[in-house]
Amino acid sequence: MKYIVVTGGVISGLGKGITTASIGRILKDRGYNVVPIKIDPYINIDAGTMNPFQHGEVYVLADGTEVDLDFGHYERFMDIELRREHNITTGVIYLAVIERERRGEYLGQTVQIIPHVTNEIKDRVRSVAARSKADICLVEIGGTVGDIESMPFLEAVRQMRREERREDFLLVHVTLVPLTTHGEQKTKPTQHSVKALRELGLQPDIIVARCKEPLSASVKEKIAMFCDVQKRDVISAPDTEEIYEVPALLENEGIFERIREKMHLNRTRKNKEWERLVERCRILRSNDAPKVKIAIVGKYTGLEDSYLSIKEAIKHAAMHLGCSYENIWIEAEDLENGHRVKEILRADGILVPGGFGERGAEGKIKAIEIAREHKIPFLGLCFGFQLAVVEFARNVVGLKNANSTELCEDTPFPVVDLLEEQRSVDKKGGTMRLGNSTVVLRENSLAASIYNATRIVERHRHRYEVNPAFVDALTDAGLIFSGTDLSGKRMEVLEMPVEKHPFFFAVQFHPEFRSRPNRPSPPFKAFILACMRYHNNTTKQKNTPLQCTRFRKIKKCKHA
């Protein structure tokens, strides 16, 4: 097994995840089987309880593990599905060591960071790599070199480097080269970062230097001299407009050749699929055609990374449809206060994402009401699905005080509630539905035509469900529940007849988590196409309607 470890210095949020995912993409395009592992130094067992404002979105894996958003980059770039074992946190390591100590497995030894904690880290990395049967294991260490939290992991890396063959272990260090007000590229932060790494017994093999602009030859030379690497081991990674361009950018800087030489790799034939995808991105950006405006109504819009997978799913769909688009971020509480209503009305589509809690819920319900009454294409995800049920119950069925018991425990019309079997679970969060689950779609429904299937698998992250006691009243009033779980008890998909609304569609699951650049999520693709049609029907610029480069092929599906 060969290992490539990615560390970061200077500041957090430099792009270690994108760098790791890009290296994985480059290697995969050369025919190598790659498996990523993310090490997070926080003491949390997983990312499930973290505030999106602090950490970005919580990404959900196929087995229901709640993880850091970097896993989304891994899965999208490398087109793979990961599981719990691919995420190692300080909490997981210390919990395992303490449980072993309590069981007496250390035979009375004094349990210490070295060797017990570091051995646990190494054993987990190696066991995951071995079970994957991959050629190369990528290990990203979260945080920044110098953080006290990451010290045990870096020590474990030092030991692994000593234990593995030289050609089987590579260390990539990602640093920052800031610009002064006069535009001068400064190398001192990189020098100090590498110095801190070397003090821990680690010497980087490759330095990926992040900067707003490409590094000059003299700056590369300076970094090479002070950090004791060759000049060609210094990879310039300037800012890009599109993250999917990063693999090509790194490859043009020679990173694959350096990895190939240092790790004795022999495959050089390259798959061109990713290059074609990036070219579509470039064409889309350069397209000066009118853009569809998509209003995203959420409660964490101050940090767009809170909805990163949704942003990417929209992008994937737009790329495949050849559509230019603009995301308009609307804070749900602004709508509650009567603000930004005109922006919503001018949008070509309204998307209400998932979320938890009462804050902003009424604003989201208002957005759904606007979408329904003004026949603006609507896509609801998870909590957005539940609030669409609440809005319909209030304003169409006539249950004025209808609500979810998550928001109002004593509502007289709990159209969204815990199911009976869930109430017996006392532990908070113990009733969460997490990860992949099968959904059965009604034949001849909008949902079935969107997916071109009647049985699908999507990822879930929610606790409350549509209350079965109100399903008949909702369907009698015109709402269609076109998807359920295997038992038929849990509602999974809702829609309105196309003769009543051009596109009113919501799902209990999170389709954004399974969207890929080469395989866009079907609901997002159908939503963007509906937005394009809405734009063409309502725009005043009759001479410049939006065009879909693949419209003829998709038009065959009357519901898409």
The active-site residue, picked from 137, 211, 281, 382, is: 382
For residues 149 and 136, what is the distance between their CA atoms, to the nearest angstrom?
A: 26
> Shortest CA distance to 142 belongs to which of 15, 48, 41, 20?
41
Model pLDDT, residue 451? 98
Q: Count other Cβ atoms within 10 Å, centred on residue 124.
A: 18
Angle at 532 between CA 560 and CA 350, to 5 degrees: 90
Token digits of residue 212: 């707003």
DSSP alpha helices (H): ranges in 228-272? 246-252, 255-263
pLDDT for the residue 125: 97
Nearest to 48 by CA among 65, 70, 72: 65
Distance separating alpha carbons of residues 4 and 22, to the nearest angstrom: 12
Look at the alpha carbons of 142, 143, 148, 154 in this order and tell me if their dihedral is positive or negative: positive
Can you tell me which residue has the tokens 């009759």? 542
Tell me how far apart the alpha carbons of residues 113 and 84 are, in angstroms, rounded to a whole number: 23
Q: What is the rounded CA–CA span in Å between residue 522 and residue 15?
A: 29
Confidence at residue 282, expressed as pLDDT on a 0 to 100 scale: 84
Residues 520, 522, 526, 527, Cα dihedral to 10°: -80
pLDDT value, residue 425: 62
**Would you give per-residue pLDDT tens digits along the chain (560 residues)?**
999 999 999 888 889 999 999 999 999 999 999 999 999 999 998 888 887 777 789 999 999 999 999 999 999 999 999 999 999 999 999 999 999 999 999 998 999 999 999 999 999 999 999 999 999 999 999 999 989 999 999 999 999 999 999 999 999 999 999 999 888 999 999 999 999 999 999 999 999 999 999 999 999 999 999 999 999 999 999 999 899 999 999 999 999 999 999 999 998 888 888 999 888 888 887 777 678 999 999 998 888 889 999 999 999 999 999 889 999 999 999 999 899 999 999 999 999 999 888 999 999 999 999 999 999 999 999 999 999 999 999 999 999 999 999 999 999 999 999 988 777 664 554 578 899 999 999 999 999 999 999 999 999 999 999 999 999 999 999 999 999 999 999 999 999 999 999 999 999 999 999 999 999 999 999 999 999 999 998 874 444 455 544 333 333 333 33
What's the pLDDT tens digit per position in 428-481? Answer: 545 788 999 999 999 999 999 999 999 999 999 999 999 999 999 999 999 999
Assess whether 510 carries a catalytic annotation: yes
d(CA 379, CA 382): 10
Task: State if pTM tops 0.85.
Answer: yes
What residues pair up with 35 in beta bridges, in sequence order?
137
Predicted local confidence at residue 546, as pLDDT: 52
531 is catalytic: no
Q: Specify the pLDDT at position 555.
A: 36
* Nearest of 68, 71, 67, 61 to residue 24 by alpha carbon: 71
Give just the sign of the alpha carbon dihedral 141, 147, 149, 150: positive
Measured in degrees and rounded to the nearest 5, phi and psi for residue 386 equal -65, -40
DSSP class of 154? H
Contact assessment for residue 524 and residue 318, using Cβ atoms and an 8 Å cutoff: no
Catalytic-role residue among 75, 458, 512, 548: 512
**Cis geometry, peptide bond prior to residue 412 (ω within 30 degrees of 0):** no
The strand pairing partners of 552, in sequence order, are none
- The DSSP result for 357-374, as a single string, is SSTTHHHHHHHHHHHHHT
Rounded to 10 deg, the angle between the 118-132 and 90-102 helix axes is 110
pLDDT of residue 49: 83
What is the C-alpha separation between 349 and 528, in angstroms, rounded?
A: 8
417, β-bridge pairs: 465
Verify whether residue 391 is a known catalytic residue. Answer: no
CA–CA separation, 76 and 81 (whole Å): 9
| Residue whose pair of structure tokens reads 């769909």 in the numeric block | 317
Give the active site residue among 173, 510, 531, 548. Answer: 510
Q: How far, in Å, CA of 349 to CA of 336, rounded? A: 19
CA 115 to chain centre: 35
Kindly report the CA angle at 480 between 415 and 530, in degrees rounded to 5? 115
In this structure, the number of other CB atoms found within 10 A of the CB of residue 83 comes to 14
Both tokens assigned to 300: 């964490």
Tell me the domains of the chain and their CATH numbers: 2-276 (3.40.50.300), 288-555 (3.40.50.880)
Per-residue model confidence (pLDDT) at position 280: 85
